[in-house]
Each structure stands twice: as C-alpha cells, then as structure tokens.
Amino acid sequence: MARVYPLFSSSEGNATFVGSRRCGILIDAGVSCKRLVSALEENGISMSAVQGIFITHEHTDHIKALKTLTSKYAVSVFAQPLTAEYLQSSGNISPRAKLYDITSATEVGGFSVTPFSTQHDTRQSCGYRIHTPDGKVICVCTDLGKVTESVHENLKEAEIVLLEANYDYNMLINGPYPYPLKQRILSEHGHLGNSDSGKELKRLVQEKTTRIILGHLSRHNNTAEIAEQTVLQQMDGLVRNSDFLLMTAPPEAHGEVMLV
C-alpha cells in the first residue's frame, strides 16, 4: 500500500517520501544529509529503499542534501533539463551520480513519475504526478505562485494531493519581511497562499481527491491551524457533503503518514 511521508515541509527545507518502507521515491532533498537519512530511519525506511530522487527546482530548501547524498549512496537523481543542468554545473551533485533530465513519464522502481510545470521564480520548476505500483495516483506540488489550468489538469483525480499553502495573507502583509520579499511571495511566480490553495482543493475534492496534505507552510507567515481553517472555509459546503481527510505536513519529520 502506498504511503506519503512528508518528512520536511517548510520554507527552510523540503523532502517527501512516497512508497512503502521497502521501496519508494524521494521528492526533493532540502535539508542536510544527516537529518534526511535520520528522518527516513525514524519512519523505518533505509536509503536502500529510495529508488530515485526527483528534484522540483534548484532552490536550496529543495536540494541541500543532494551532493552529500549522492556521494555516499548510489541513488539516481531526476530533474527537468534546466534544473539538471544547474545541479551539474553548480556542483550541487556528486560527479559520480547518475543524473537524468526528464520531460515526461519516467519509470523508477515500479513508480511512474511525470513532471508538470509550475510558475516559480527559478530556471525551471515542477510538481510531480506519481502512479504507484498498486495503481494509485499521488501528486506533490509546492512552490508555485498560481494554479494554472495545466497544473489543475495534472492534479485532478489523484487520490492524495500535497499542495502548497505557504502563507496567510494578513500575516504576510503585516509581518517583518521587507516589501520586495513580500511582493515576490505574492507574485504569480512566488508562493501559493492559503486562500488560493483552498480554492484549488475544493475543485479537486469535487473531482475524486480524498486525501489532502497542506505543505511548505512559512514558519513566519502561517500556522497549521490558520492554513487548515482557511482551506476549509474555501471549501464551504463540501465540508459537510464530501468524504475527505485533511492534514498539514509538519516542518520536521514527526508528522502522521498519509495512506491512500
């Protein structure tokens, strides 16, 4: 049975394991190698179970562990072409690592993983749609300023969706961040706020999704309670009439695991 382990999820580091304790894939590796391996082990997962690492984009909170991981372990790395090029040219991956650039569905350990483009202030950014060996669909989608129709089409009809709910608008506007950073976060190539996340999740629940994980919450501009409350408000009548589970990914590795 497929599981989603949101090991780390915040503006300070991101990594999500999808699969079973015997076999799966890692989406991003944005904390130290030591912390990431420890988090996997705390969940009963060894690095030998990781069949591949799929990178969403090159920001540090998504690739921090890559060089050390790929130096210590024989694990393949997959990324879109511009991201793969950056990882290699910048020295953020071991020269010995197997690095593949991908533009379409890729089979790894029985998982079929398809990247889809997202709008973010980076060379190339994507989410991933994952078909598991037992026939389920799981999507991981963070770091986007806007849910385009293309993003929606790639998220729809997935059993589990991990979607960004980065900030509460009032907390961000009234918070300590400098004005240019606030504008970056609010832009269509920034991050997805609670309200827009809730609007998209309402559509997805109407179209089959039954498991929701809110991810990449800002430590300074959001809380799990506010994010969940805002999302449920956007869902309105669906709260009473639909059967779905909602959880928030923790900043660190001790949260619940979501089952399909």
The answer to the question of residue 86 being in a domain is yes
- Residue 220, by phi and psi: left (phi above 0), alpha (psi -120 to 50) or beta? alpha
pLDDT in tens, 10-60: 989 999 999 998 999 999 999 999 999 999 999 999 999 999 999 999 999
Q: What does 203-244 look like in DSSP terms, one character per residue?
A: HHHHTT--EEEEE-B-TTT--HHHHHHHHHHHHTTHHHH---
The answer to the question of residue 256 being in a domain is no
Number of domains in the chain: 1
Whether the pLDDT of residue 239 is over 60: the answer is: no
**Distance (Å, rounded) from C-alpha 140 to C-alpha 54?**
11
Question: Rounded mean pLDDT of 185-208?
Answer: 96
Q: In the structure, what pLDDT confidence band is assigned to residue 237 with cuts at 50, 70 and 90? A: low
Strand partners for 137: 131
**Distance (Å, rounded) from C-alpha 237 to C-alpha 125?**
33
The answer to the question of residue 169 being in a domain is yes
Residue 130's domain is classified under what CATH number? Answer: 3.60.15.10
Distances (CA, A) of 104 to 107, 115, 193: 10, 6, 28
Tokens 């304790």 found at = 21
Domain encompassing residue 88: 3-249
> Cα 62 to chain center, whole Å?
9
Q: To 5 degrees, how large is the angle CA 69–CA 74–CA 75?
A: 70
Question: What is the Cα Rg of the chain in Å?
Answer: 17
The answer to the question of residue 259 being in a domain is no
Q: In the structure, what pLDDT confidence band is assigned to residue 75 with cuts at 50, 70 and 90? A: very high
pLDDT of residue 168: 98
